[in-house]
Amino acid sequence: MKRKPFAITLDPGSSLANHTGSWRTVRPEYVDRLPPCNHACPAGENIQGWLFHAEAGEYEQAWRVLTRDNPMPAVMGRVCYHPCETACNRGALDSCVGVNAIERFLGDEALRRGWKFEPPLSPTGKRVLVIGAGPSGLSAAYHLARLGHSVSIHEAGPLAGGMKRFGIPKYRLPRKVLDAEIQRIDDLGVKLQLHTKVTNVVETMRKGHFDAVFLAVGAHIAKRAYLPAGSAGKMLDAVSVLRSMEGGEKPLLGRRVVVYGGGNTALDVARTAKRLGADESIIVYRRTREKMPAHESELEEALQEGVLVKWLSTIKQAGESSITVEKMQLDEKGMAQPTGEFETLEADSVVLALGQDVDLSLLNGIPGLEIEDGVAKVGPDMMTGHPGIFAGGDMVQGQRTVTVGIGHGKLAARNIDAWLSGKTWEHPARHELATFAKLNTWYYSDAPKSQQPVLDMIRRQSTFEEVVGSFDQETAQFEARRCLSCGNCFECDNCYGVCPDNAVIKLGPGRRYEFNYDYCKGCGLCVSECPCGAIRTVPEEI
Amino acid sequence: MTYQPIRFYQTGTFTVGNRLLNEEQRSVQANMRRTNSLNSGHRACQGCGEALGARYAIDAAMEATHRQLVAANATGCLEVFSTPYPETSWQIPWIHSLFGNAAAVATGIAAAMRVKGRHDVRVVAQGGDGGTTDIGFGCLSGMFERNDDVLYICYDNEAYMNTGVQRSSATPPAARTNTTMPVGDTAGNAFGQGKNVPRIAMAHEIPYVATATVAELRDLEAKVRRAMEFHGARYIHILVPCPLGWGHGSAETIRMARLAKETGLFPVFEAEHGEVTSVSKIKRRMPVEEYLRPQTRFAHLFKDGGRPDVVARLQSMADRNISRYGLLDEEASS
């Protein structure tokens, strides 16, 4: 027997013999919650996922995560109305993270460095026809091609891009960027046929031996309003004005242009008219600024450039060189009601921007396909009533934005892929939403939102140069690091540090943590001190 | 501030770790190979601030001394919950002194090391507020005036918690303890009593005095590191909330420490040779009520009409600290 010091009878032991985990009545658990940005993204991007890489300066990795959902970040980083930023929890702290600008930076970086998509999976032997090379058609083609399907796009127009090209002015989206991102989709082996208008879908499908079709022809027929036009002044529609900007001959709008409508398209036309040399570019809208469907940022930019808006007004009559507008007022329900007061505005041309309808002629004669409220009816799987024919984008029910189109394309591609192998695609279970209340924001340092550079006013009024500039590398990284990582562990080591019982095991970079339930007493400190709300407490079963 | 704030990272320097920082900029607690000087299996209550503060401080001291450290520990919660014979949670050379003589025992260890020529070994003495501000105060003051080469760390939970929450000279005014019950007009512990030991330590003009809380790990670690750069007597006073004695939830320990600092009730500063050299500024100033309300030891201040007069007196104490130490940024105070 080993001799012990005086008065010592027991060997020293470690407290590890004392499993304090038995005290616990509640246990902490690591969870992943759904960040509000991801939740809000119509294209279903894993925004927080790619910001995580951008924070570390791993831009290519960030771009690869981003393009799993959206093949055109340089375009979308310019034209998306970023509902993610509206939803961003940081907005309640100081101001939201500039997701859109970082997306644009990644997209531009990819074009600059020539990053390519990973090659498609092994060929499935299935053939899919996409009709229309707009946002949703291109998105569907991209996703289907990456899944190994053989994809052909039939586009009636002379160039691919759809509304991205024929609806969004150059000063918001330079064509070089659009062309480069379309080219990268082509490079996946997508067969793009321009000037190919499909008139009989079923026939084209049969002749081309296509196993499935995705209809994405958009909505490009301008809505008309009945306007008594006395001696026929110049009356145009917004879609054709914007479209003709892509051709050789610029539209002749005159010195005083009136645009009728309150959507983004109305602003696009008014800003275009200004750049074409109009002295006056006036929007006539029947309701108020608060009720305007156009985005605040676009309206702000238009006003800066000198576009005028006549609120609470409708056009009653259009004459040779003037129009008559009637003043409106809002009733209790917020609807515009006529007042009987009239006013005359001088106008060389009137452009109607009252929304667009779907060209339904293509849809007639497809057995089983139903039309509802002027759009094609699809199920949650994006399939029409005709088996194997899917549809998405502006020609189905939903918000008409480019981002929704990209999302429809992805969703349709997943469903087409499943349908082709006789299965149905199920949306993976969604995590619980990571609300602001779940965060411990004390840990986030103050950092103001970075601003993108903006073109000089004089050039904004006279040229079609891009208005908003890009982040440089440093700014993009700074902005990415403003992300709070809502609901998902970003390995800040707080739980590992704050546990008084040393009951959190750190697994190493990229591998997060584990609880040691032998010693965890269930105090909950890790839960309340987790900055991003990635730990929850659950009652212990006793 | 003795540590360099790293700006514009996702969470600045406020979190324990940060994957975006270089290894050398990370905290000791973020390290997978930290000492865990106070290991699992100890019998401290759920959410114990003292257990947390002790691991923070001693791990940092171990790091700063290349693991050549001996600790003397006064009687108190820390000793009782960590070392019920024959088990111990300590993974360092550690000796339990009496309640009142940890400073003297540490002085002896330092002397022994000097005699043995072990100049690499550093000595820490630690105790709770009772063992420091009351019972061990004579030994502590002696250690200070002789400038013995010891770092004394006081874990202040503002009462004798181990024996069932009795008042110490670190108990704040108006707090309810088992010996300062609010009765009639008396709202808990009396105003105008107690000791401010960090300032008493400064009055000895010893090389280094600092205060810290468990809510600011980086600040705490930097202060331990700084203390180990000096020889002679040093003193660090760490506020460690006690869920049992203060009557707050076990998950609220760090929040309480944070609020104590953000309200100004507990000034966080450091001093060298008797002069304050830096203060940790208040990030978001809050009224003392935010700090008092969640604690049942102050519940009598808010029950049945409450005692706004008492709360106002506590607020004026906080205000005095704020102006005395300059706890607000110029910008924030305007």
State how far residue B291 is from chain A, nearest Cα, in angstroms.
Answer: 15
Residue of A518, A527, A531 lying closest to B15 (CB–CB): A531
Structure confidence at residue B333 (pLDDT): 44
Give the nearest partner residue to A443 out of B15, B38, B250, using CB atoms.
B15
Between CA A392 and CA A378 the distance in angstroms is: 8
What gap in Å lies between CA B102 and CA B152, rounded to an integer?
9
A90: closest chain B residue by CA? B10
Question: How large is the average pLDDT for residues B74-84?
Answer: 96
Encode A56-123 in three state secondary structure: CCCHHHHHHHHCCCCCCHHHHHHHCCCHHHHHCHHHHCCCCCCHHHHHHHHHHHHHHHCCCCCCCCCC
**CB < 8 Å to A528, chain B:** 251-252, 254-255
User: Do the Cβ atoms of A444 and B11 come within 8 Å?
Assistant: yes
**Amino acid B24: pLDDT:** 79
Q: Do residues B43 and B81 lie in contact, with contact meaning Cβ atoms separated by under 8 Å?
A: yes
Pairing mode of beta strands A234-237, A513-515: unpaired
Instruction: Give the pLDDT confidence of A499-536 residue by residue, as tens digits.
Output: 999 999 999 988 999 999 999 999 999 999 999 999 99
Query: Residue B277: how many CA atoms within 13 Å on its side-chain side?
Result: 15
Confidence tier at B6 by pLDDT (50, 70, 90)? very low
> What is the per-residue pLDDT for A183?
96
Q: Which two tokens stand for residue B166?
A: 């009795």
- List, for residues A10-34, the tens digit of each pLDDT value: 888 999 999 999 999 999 999 999 9
Closest in B13, B20, B52 to A500, CB measured: B52
CB pairs < 8 Å spanning A and B:
160
- Residue B10 — pLDDT band, cuts 50, 70, 90? low
Domain ranges of chain B: 23-333
Residue of A nearest to B89 (CA): A15
pLDDT of B8 strictly over 80? no
Bridge partners of A260, per DSSP, are A284, A352
Residues B308, B174: Cα–Cα separation, whole Å: 12
pTM exceeds 0.80, yes or no: yes
Selection from A103, A69, A122, A30 nearest residue A479 by Cα: A103
- In tens, the pLDDT along A240-262 reads 899 888 877 788 888 999 999 99
Q: How far apart are CA B318 and CA B31, in angstroms?
A: 36
The answer to whether residue A107 scores a pLDDT higher than 90 is: yes
* Complete domains list, chain A, with CATH: 18-32+489-539 (3.30.70.20), 36-116+446-480 (1.10.1060.10), 127-221+358-420 (3.50.50.60), 225-356 (3.50.50.60)
**B20, B38, B46: best to mutate for the A interface, most A CBs within 10 A:** B46
- Test B255 with A519 for CB contact under 8 angstroms: no
Per the CB < 8 Å rule, is A523 touching B52? no
Contacts of residue A332, defined as CB under 8 A and 6 or more positions apart, other chains included, come to none
Closest chain A residue to B86, measured at CA? A12
- Enumerate residues 6+ apart whose C-beta is below 8 A from B70: B92, B93, B94, B95, B109, B113, B121, B122, B123, B124
**Higher-confidence position of B7 and B310:** B310
Whether the Cβ atoms of residue A99 and residue A62 lie closer than 8 Å to each other: no
Residue of A nearest to B215 (CA): A498
Substitution target from A26, A498, A499, A529 for chain B, most B beta carbons within 10 A: A498
Q: Tell me the mean pLDDT in the region A203-207.
A: 94
Q: What is the structure's pLDDT at B68?
A: 97
Helix (H, G, I), strand (E, B) or coil at A284: strand
Burial class of residue A40 in the structure, from the number of CB atoms within 10 Å of its CB (0-12 exposed, 13-18 middle, 19+ buried): middle
Residue numbers in B near A540 (CB within 8 A): none
CA dist B143 and B150 (Å) reads 8
**How many residues would you count in chain A?**
542
* pLDDT > 90? residue A232: no
Write out chain B residues lying below 8 Å of A5, CB-based.
Answer: none
- Which residues from A are below 8 Å from B82, CB to CB? 15
pLDDT at B122 over 90: yes
Look over chain A and give the mean of its residue pLDDT values, rounded to a whole number: 92
- Give the minimum alpha-carbon distance from A524 to chain B in angstroms, rounded to a whole number: 5
Nearest chain A Cα distance for residue B40, angstroms: 5
> How far apart, in whole angstroms, are the C-alpha atoms of residue A532 and residue A54?
18
Q: What is the mean pLDDT of residues A185-189?
A: 95
Rounded to whole angstroms, how far apart are CA atoms B192 and B175?
A: 13
With a cut of 70, say whether residue A145 has pLDDT above it.
yes
Q: Which of B40, B59, B87, B90 to mutate to test the interface with A (most CBs of A within 10 A)?
A: B40
Residues of A with Cβ-Cβ distance to B8 under 8 angstroms? 445, 447, 478, 481
Model pLDDT, residue B331: 53
pLDDT at position B50: 98
Nearest CB to A13 within list B8, B86, B252: B86
From the list A11, A15, A481, the residue facing B10 with the nearest CB is: A481
CA angle B299, B302, B305 (to 5 degrees): 140
Pair of tokens at residue B184: 């009639």
Tokens coding B304:
């049945």
Interface predicted TM-score (ipTM) of this complex, two decimals: 0.94
Map tokens 């994006």 to a residue. A382
Tokens of A401: 């934005």
Q: How many CB atoms lie within 10 A of CB A449?
A: 16
- Interatomic CA distance for residues A493 and A309, integer angstroms: 53
Is beta strand A212-215 parallel, antiparallel or unpaired with respect to A127-131? parallel
Burial class of A372 by CB neighbour count within 10 A (0 to 12, 13 to 18, 19+): exposed
Measured in whole angstroms, how far is the alpha carbon of residue A321 from the centre of its chain? 41
Give just the sign of the alpha carbon dihedral B176, B178, B184, B190: negative
Query: Chain B residues with CB inside 8 Å of A58's CB?
Result: none
DSSP codes joined into one string, B130-143: IIIIITTHHHHHHH
Q: A4-7 long-range contacts, Cβ below 8 Å, gap at least 24?
A: none
Local structure of residue A437 (DSSP, 8 states): G
Evaluate whether A376 touches A358 at the Cβ level (below 8 Å). Answer: yes
Region B318-322: mean pLDDT is: 97
Higher pLDDT, B135 or A449: B135
Determine the average pLDDT of the residues in A180-189. Answer: 96
pLDDT at B27 over 60: yes
The mean pLDDT value for B133-144 works out to 97
Q: What distance in Å separates the CA atoms of residue A281 and residue B19, rounded to the nearest whole number?
A: 52
Residues of A within 8 A of B217 (CB-CB) are: 497
Q: Is the peptide bond before A135 cis (omega within 30 degrees of 0)?
A: no
- List the single residue in A with minimal CA-CA distance to B214: A498
pLDDT for A447: 82
Put simply, the answer to whether B41 touches A485 (Cβ < 8 Å) is: no
Considering CB atoms only, which of A499, A516, A528 is closest to B255? A528
- Predicted pLDDT at B75: 96
Task: Report percent pLDDT > 90 for chain B.
Answer: 88
Cβ-proximal residues to A12 (8 Å cutoff; 6+ apart), any chain = B86, B87, B88
Q: Is B23-333 CATH 3.40.50.970? A: yes
Cβ A259 vs Cβ A234: under 8 Å: no
**Which pLDDT score is estimated for A4?**
80
Name the 3-class secondary structure at B188: coil
Q: Cβ–Cβ of A500/B255 closer than 8 Å?
A: no
**Local confidence band at A227 (pLDDT 50, 70, 90 cut-offs):** confident
Of the candidates A161, A215, A188, the residue with the CA atom closest to the CA atom of residue A409: A215
What value does the mean pLDDT take over residues A289-317?
A: 92
CB contact under 8 A, A15 and B39: yes
Is residue A255 a contact partner of residue A280, using CB atoms and an 8 Å limit?
A: yes
Does the pLDDT of residue A495 top 60, yes or no?
yes
| Kind of pairing between the strands at B122-128 and B151-156 | parallel
Other C-beta atoms closer than 10 Å to the C-beta of B33 total 8
pLDDT value for B3 = 53
d(CA B130, CA B75) in angstroms, rounded, equals 9
Sort A539 into a burial class: Cβ within 10 Å, 0-12 / 13-18 / 19+.
exposed
Measure the CA–CA gap between B166 and A140, rounded to whole angstroms: 72
Measured in angstroms, the CA of A481 and the nearest CA of chain B are apart by 5
What are the two backbone dihedrals, phi and then psi, of residue A180, each rounded to the nearest 5 degrees? -65, -40
pLDDT of residue A2: 63
Q: Is A55 in Cβ contact with B10 (below 8 Å)?
A: yes
> Mean pLDDT, chain B, as a whole number?
94
Q: Which residues contact A477 (CB under 8 A, 6 or more apart)?
A: A54, A55, A57
For residues A307 and A314, give the distance between their C-alpha atoms in angstroms, rounded to a whole number.
18
The Cα–Cα gap between B115 and B117 comes to: 5
* Residue B187 one-letter amino acid: A
At A328-375, the pLDDT tens digits run: 998 888 888 899 899 999 999 999 999 899 988 888 889 999 999 999
Picking from B38, B47, B283, the nearest residue to A523 by CB comes out as B47
Two structure tokens written together for B311: 């709360």
Cβ atoms of residues A434 and A533 within 8 Å: yes
Compute CA distances A284 → A245, A316, A323, whole Å. Answer: 22, 11, 11
Span B184-199, average pLDDT? 94
At A320, the pLDDT band (50, 70, 90 cuts) reads: confident
Q: What are phi and psi of A76, to 5 degrees?
A: -70, -30
CB < 8 Å to A20, chain B? 40-43
Instruction: Report residue A233's pLDDT band, with 50, 70 and 90 as the boundaries.
Output: low
pLDDT band at B18 (very low <50, low <70, confident <90, very high): confident
Å between B203 CA and nearest CA of chain A: 33
Q: At A449, which amino acid appears?
A: K
Give the per-residue pLDDT at A229. Answer: 62
Greater confidence, B25 or A418?
Answer: A418
In this predicted structure, the answer to whether residue A193 has a pLDDT above a threshold of 50 is: yes
Chain A partners of B10 at a C-beta cutoff of 8 Å? 55, 444, 481-485, 490, 492
Of A442, A500, A524, the CB nearest to B48: A500
Dihedral angle, C-alpha B251, B254, B256, B260, nearest 10 °: 180
Report the C-alpha gap between B142 and B103 in whole angstroms.
8
Mean pLDDT value of segment A46-59: 95
Neighboring chain A residues of B250 at a CB cutoff of 8 Å:
523-525
**pLDDT digit string, tens, across residues B273-309:** 999 999 999 999 999 999 999 999 999 999 988 999 9
**Chain B residues in contact with A509 (beta carbon < 8 A):** 19
The pair of structure tokens assigned to B113 is: 């090391």
Instruction: Output the six-digit token pair for A424.
Output: 């149905």
In which element (H, E) is residue A411 found?
Answer: helix A402-420
Percent of chain A whose pLDDT exceeds 70: 98
For residue B29, give the nearest of A478, A497, A503 by CB distance: A497
